[in-house]
Amino acid sequence: MADKKSPASGWPLVKGDFHSGDANSPVAVVTMGSHLDEQGVCDAGAALCGSCKTENLGLEKVIANVIANPNIRFVLLVGTEVKGHLSGQTLSALHKSGIKEGRVVGAEGAIPFIENLNDAAIKRFQEQVEIVNIMESEDMGAIKAKINELKARDPGAFAADAIVVEVKEAAGGQEVGAASANPQFLEIEKRLDKIEKKIEFVDAEIAQRVGRKIGRDIGILYGLVAGITVFVMLLFLLQKLMTQV
C-alpha cells in the first residue's frame, strides 16, 4: 500500500462548492462549469470533487485544498469549460507555467490573477500533482474509470508535509481577491456573467429552433412516406382489378 500522510488539521480547509471524500485518495476531481453527482464521485474514490467557475479565486481554493493534503497526487479535470473565464485552461496553464506579476502565464481567461498564493504554494502545487485533463466529459462511468486508473498509479503521499494557505474572505463570507478587490475587475466579471447568460440563452433558442425544424422535417417526411404508401396500394389494387377484367 502507498505511504500516506495526515492532511492539515480540519482539511479541507477552504470551504466552497464541493464535496469531500477519502482524505487518503490520490485524486481530486474538478468539474469546472458542470454540475455532476459530486458526492457520487467522492464515493467512487475521490478525495475532493467540486466545480471551479472562476479563473482566480476558484483556482486559489482548489490549489489551497490540494496542497493542504499531501496524499492528493492527481487533479482530474472533467466537465465543461466555463465560457469567458476558461478556468480549466487557466488551471492547466498555472500548473505548467506558474504566474508572473500576479497573472497566470499563458492563461486565456479574462481575469487570471492570483492574489492569495505565493510562489512557494504554486511551486508546491506544480510538484505535488499531475493534471489529468478529460474535460468535456460528463459521463460518470468514464470519470469513475479514470479515478480507478489514477488510484492504481498512486505514488504515495508527497514527501513534504501539508501547506496551509489562507484564502481571504470579507465580511459575510464574500471572497476577496484580484477580481473583487479591484472595481474594474469586478465590472469585467459582471459583464462576463451577463455575456455568459446571453450565450446560454442564445444556445437554448438555437436548440429550440433546430428542434422545431427537425420536427417539421420529420412531419413532412412522414407525410411523404404515407402518401407514397397510399399511392402504391392504389396502383396494386388497380392492377389487380385490371387483371380480373
- The pLDDT assigned to 1 comes to 65
Evaluate if residue 122 carries a pLDDT over 50. yes
Higher pLDDT, residue 103 or 15: 103
Could you list the residue range(s) of the whole structural domain that residue 108 is in?
Answer: 18-173
* Average confidence (pLDDT) over 200-212: 60
- The pLDDT assigned to 199 comes to 62
pLDDT digits 0-9 by tens, 147-183: 999 999 999 999 999 999 988 764 444 444 444 445 4
Q: How many helices (H) and strands (E) does the chain have?
A: 7, 7
- The pLDDT assigned to 196 comes to 61
Phi, psi (rounded to 5 degrees) for 124: -60, -45
Domain-located, residue 4: no
- The pLDDT assigned to 180 comes to 45
pLDDT band at 189 (very low <50, low <70, confident <90, very high): low
- The pLDDT assigned to 144 comes to 96
Task: Indicate if 245 and 128 belong to the same structural domain.
Answer: no
- The pLDDT assigned to 25 comes to 97
Q: How many domains is the chain partitioned into structurally?
A: 2
Task: Indicate if 106 and 86 belong to the same structural domain.
Answer: yes
Residue 94 near residue 38, CB atoms below 8 Å? no
Confidence (pTM): 0.72
- Provide the edge-to-edge strand list for the sheet that holds 74-77: 18-20, 48-50, 27-30, 74-77, 130-133
Q: Which of 173, 190, 224 is the last residue of a domain?
A: 173
Alpha-carbon span 123 to 127, nearest angstrom: 6
Residue 131 near residue 77, CB atoms below 8 Å? yes
Task: Indicate if 43 and 157 belong to the same structural domain.
Answer: yes
Cα 220 versus chain centre, distance: 40
**Whole-number average pLDDT of the chain:** 84
Q: Which of 173, 206, 224 is the last residue of a domain?
A: 173
Task: Indicate if 118 and 234 belong to the same structural domain.
Answer: no
Task: Indicate if 151 and 186 belong to the same structural domain.
Answer: no
With both helix axes pointing from N to C terminus, report the angle between 119-128 and 57-67 in degrees, rounded to the nearest 10: 60
pLDDT band at 108 (very low <50, low <70, confident <90, very high): very high
- The C-alpha cell that represents 179 in the structure block: 477580481
- The pLDDT assigned to 176 comes to 40
Evaluate if residue 3 carries a pLDDT over 60. yes
